Structure 1
Amino acid sequence: MLGLGFGGGQGPGTKRLAAMTAYLDEMDAVETPNPLPKTPMRRIMAAYGPKMLELARERTAGAQTYHVNVAHTAQAREILGPDAFLGVEHAVLFESDPDKARAVAREHLNIYLNSPYNIAKFRRLGYSEEEIAGGSDRIVDDLVFWGDLDTIVEKPPCPCRGRSRSCRGAGDRDRAGGVRDAVLAHARRGTPAPGRQHLIRGSCGSGDSCGGSCPMRTWRRRR
């Protein structure tokens, strides 16, 4: 799988959507004497805004997001449609004391709360200038899930909260068990140490849209 996206170092006047469209055009136009791979290369895009998500839907196999809230995941799934891949990375912190947890989370988020393109993203997500500038409890709690293992397991970024068809019954075991496995894998065996941060990735693979109501049916380990 090939991941594509913009960082923060593009030149002045660069239009991200136009530049990414042109880049995809160039990729598609490349001719090579080498044989094509037996399995076609899937490409996904780092996409946040509606227009970039639409481009990901039209030109790639899906999108990956990072530091977004539950509402954004629902919006992304709606734009991408039921079959596209949607990978969501989310920070978790093994710390149950609210003051300590939020202090560590703010340190982790500091660079993102002060970079222009992330600030624009957070504005679109509905956070005020004051919340972004000060790292409010609301934005911190939305972007970094903290607590003990059982608390974190109950907070996958899934708007359906287990109410959709695929998150009930056997799906409950897949959802909670997958999150627990991912968290423990990053904790390097045993009980997670307090204050340790990890990133976990949720994905909704093609071919299963959770009845259209759950963007995040299964969780997969990120090694």
Structure 2
Amino acid sequence: MTDSSLTRLIGAWVDGWVVSRGAAEPVAVSWGFTVDVGLPRHTSRGVLTARAESSVREAAGASRIPGHWLKVFEEPEKVLAWLGPDWTTDEPGFLMTAGLRRTEAVVPSGHRLKAWTRGGVTRALITTEDGSFAARGQIALGSVTGEAVVDQVETAPEHRRKGLGSVVMRTLQNAAVEQGATVGVLGGTTDGRALYESLGWRSVAPLVSVFYDAKPE
């Protein structure tokens, strides 16, 4: 993928993510975007479209605030060496994309699927027959680029390897296609990567997530 294509995909991910999470509008800066999130342990985030060491250091220098996160699309070893000890890494991830098309979502026996759309976000929830949580996820179309961004896909540990994640993803993708989306974007974890790849998604860049956590001297 070219640098310009990756930059556009990162912008699409940010655009849809803020809709999905109800965050503030992204603000463009020299190295990417800043977003006010408004949570106690996630007050804001910087998402870098630039991947050079100088850009990462600049973003970190402007963001030394507790609760601020940085999202960098570069190899973890490089990013952590550039940032220093005041930044703590979260689990490694990947920026992934796929062409979207309608596919059948078959709910396994003993489970129920409910999907609804509100505020530009479609959510899918799978429960057991008694209403216990089994799996979920959501998808949002960005207000600018039109790609659909998959977010917060989760399956309860006791319900994994039953195909529920695939049902959630297919349900979300079908909803996005009905709204006119043809391309999907997501930030996936190592645990979720196999699921996404089985559904035709591909990784286009590593995703490093770090937050500012200065240790008292």
TM-score (norm 2): 0.28
Query: Relative CO higher for 1 or 2, CA cutoff 8 Å, sep ≥ 6?
Result: 2
Q: Which has the higher helix share?
A: 1
TM-score (norm 1): 0.27
Q: Which has the higher strand share?
A: 2
